[in-house]
């Protein structure tokens, strides 16, 4: 009986030791798993969300930069108010010095800007072109080598219609002022076209009727 009790006691002791070892092992592995979990990479779906957010932030930043650049460009081209109710624009006129460099061929490089002041209005493009074709150059400009074929007898600008970036100018020319030699006619139209292109919203210039500016 004593021997059986000793065996049971030894067995219980072994079970206790094994239980303690098992508990130690479980605790060890739990701590190891916890440490491993801390080192595991962020799940892919979380990374994707973070990346999308980062890209969105970058896109928003770029959008703001683009908006600022457009505003700077607008301010750069904004008409300068020289007096109350008046603005500064340019007439692009042929210049003899520049024309000599291109052998008097019809070439945009032969035109230089001449400063003008005109009343401010809701249609500066129309007023600028109209001012170009209705007025002569000054004596000082003539001495500097500028010339112009304007104004023309009964030649009038009826309208300036801007659709998108295309400007269509409608003229009235009952006495065929815009007909003649190719160089003369070419420079008449080139003055109008380049003068219109000073406005940043204008990328292309057309005229009507199509019978105008024919040599």
Q: Would you state the pLDDT for residue 104? A: 72
User: DSSP character for 149?
Assistant: -
Q: pLDDT at position 127, please?
A: 96
> In this model, does residue 192 exceed pLDDT 90?
yes
The CB density around residue 180, as the number of other CB atoms within 10 Å, is 14
- How far apart are alpha carbons 195 and 199 in whole angstroms? 8
- Flag whether the pTM goes above 0.75: no
pLDDT single digits (tens) 111-166: 999 999 999 888 999 999 999 999 999 999 999 999 999 999 899 999 999 999 99
Q: What pLDDT is recorded for position 7?
A: 44
- Spatial separation of the C-alpha atoms in residues 186 and 150, rounded to whole Å: 13
Q: Look at 170 and 67; give whichever has higher pLDDT.
A: 170
Most confident range (mean pLDDT) of 40-54, 60-74, 96-110, 131-145 is 131-145
Mean pLDDT of the region 33-60: 58
Residue 95 backbone dihedrals phi, psi, to 5 degrees: -125, 135
Please determine, for residue 29, whether its predicted confidence score (pLDDT) is greater than 70. no
Q: Is 148 exposed, middle or buried (0-12, 13-18, 19+ CB in 10 A)?
A: buried
Which of 134, 132, 95, 135 lies closest to 112 in space, CA to CA?
Answer: 95
């Amino acid at each position: 009986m004593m021997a059986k009790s000793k065996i049971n006691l030894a067995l219980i002791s072994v079970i206790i030791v094994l239980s303690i070892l098992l508990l130690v092992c479980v605790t060890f592995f739990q701590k190891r798993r916890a440490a491993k979990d801390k080192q595991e990479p962020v799940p892919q779906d979380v990374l994707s969300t973070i990346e999308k957010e980062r890209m969105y932030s970058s896109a928003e930043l770029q959008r703001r930069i683009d908006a600022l650049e457009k505003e700077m460009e607008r301010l750069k081209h904004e008409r300068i108010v020289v007096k109350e109710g008046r603005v500064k624009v340019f007439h692009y006129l042929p210049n003899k010095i520049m024309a000599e460099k291109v052998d008097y061929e019809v070439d945009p490089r032969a035109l230089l800007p001449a400063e003008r002041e005109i009343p401010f209005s809701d249609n500066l493009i129309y007023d600028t072109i109209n001012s170009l074709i209705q007025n002569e150059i000054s004596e000082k400009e003539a001495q500097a080598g500028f010339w112009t074929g304007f104004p023309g007898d009964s030649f009038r600008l009826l309208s300036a219609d801007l659709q998108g970036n295309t400007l269509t100018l409608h003229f009235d020319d009952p006495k065929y002022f815009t007909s003649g030699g190719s160089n003369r006619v070419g420079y008449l139209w080139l003055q109008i076209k380049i003068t219109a292109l000073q406005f940043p919203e204008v990328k292309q210039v057309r005229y009507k009727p199509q019978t105008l500016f024919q040599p």
